[in-house]
Amino acid sequence: MSSGDDWQSQASSKPAFTEIQASALVESVFGFKVSKIQSLPSYDDQNFHVHISRTKDTTDDPVEYVLKISNTESSQTPDLIEMQNNIITFLRAAGFPTASVCRTKGDNTISLMSIDSGSEVKSYLVRMLTYLPGKPIAEVAISHQQLYEIGRLAAQLDKTLEEFRHPKLNLLRRENFIWNLKNIPLLEKYLGALSQNRNREIVEQVIQLFREEVMTKLSHFRECINHGDLNDHNILVDCNKSASGDAVYQVSGILDFGDMSYGYYVFEVAITIMYMMIESTDPIQVGGHILAGFESVIPLTAVERSALFLLVCSRFSQSLVMAAHSCQLYPENKEYLMITAKTGWKHLQQLFDMGQKAVEEIWFETAKSYESRISM
């Protein structure tokens, strides 16, 4: 996703490569012969699922990859994208199911391609990652235990990233990055995408409450690097059968590190709760299971817990407002952009109707129930 500094310029920044052009990129930049290529849904970049033909020299290499072509805005920050590649490699070495980064013919992890469109020359950063197997969590019915495991995974990611070192780590301090939860007030610029109705009133209220109740507490939150987008399409699972014959899903892939930035532990929990609510048949219960898993690794402080409800509402607001805005820019991508909106507004309204105290009671009591199970 993109910076939000000047979102209007995004209308012309999304790549529009054909499958033939993308195939030629794979061959010229990475030296692979493509046997099959197909477009994948994406937000403001362009992704392709690539099958390569094996040769004598590549018999041990993977056969499937994802070609990622960054939008023109992101392509202006190659150091940031290269660092994302380094983080993916670091996490894989630490045992997380992330992709492997494919090196170019020049032995780099990214390549900047300039394309003459006739009226202007545009530059796009190109990279390729191994294709990870599995289904997005959005497509499966997950249990309370699996929600707990996802919460635990989110905390383990943040904790492991404490050990990540890089000379340009400060690039992750993306001050005006629209998808950092710290920047909820920036949403005011995009409220014009919403009709004058209750949805807009709730978002306006969230922004005001955020200023009053979260921004005043930020100095008390513990800082870390956030993945920032552990949504139900960025976590892949594989199905195994348990001894009883039931389906058991295990995480087989973690995708999309494009929204990484410095944030706080409590941001990661809130973002994960919000996205796991989207497809749930019992969305209000989700928070307690995610929180229990997260706190089994990193217990939240009292002040962090007190902000959790509003942070979940804030992430709903971010996602829903920016989806509405992006639909104005990319109407042809409306189906993908509005995935969250299908149930998101209903969930945000429900949170507000129930109120912080009632929702927190459910979340905190559910999380507490795990303590007794663990002590047993």
Which sequence positions are flagged as catalytic? 229
Q: Using alpha carbons only, what angle is made at residue 319 by residues 317 and 325, rounded to the nearest 5 degrees?
A: 95
Three-state SS annotation for 23-58: HHHHHHHHCCCEEEEEEECCCCCEEEEEEECCCHHH
| Torsions phi, psi for 162 (to 5 deg) | -60, -25
Task: Detail the DSSP E strand segments found in 156-297.
Answer: 223-226, 235-241, 247-254, 261-264
Q: Which residue has the tokens 């048949």?
A: 281
Cα(18)–Cα(78) distance, integer angstroms: 23
236, 200, 212: which is closest to 324 by C-alpha? Answer: 200
Both tokens of residue 322? 């920016």
Both tokens of residue 284? 């209000």
Residues near 39 by beta carbon (within 8 Å), at least 6 away in sequence = 19, 46, 47, 48, 49
Strand, coil or helix: 367: helix
What residues are paired with 236 via a beta bridge? 136, 253
What residues are paired with 323 via a beta bridge? none
Say if residues 203 and 187 touch (Cβ distance below 8 Å): yes
Tell me the CA end-to-end span of the chain in Å, nearest whole number.
Answer: 44
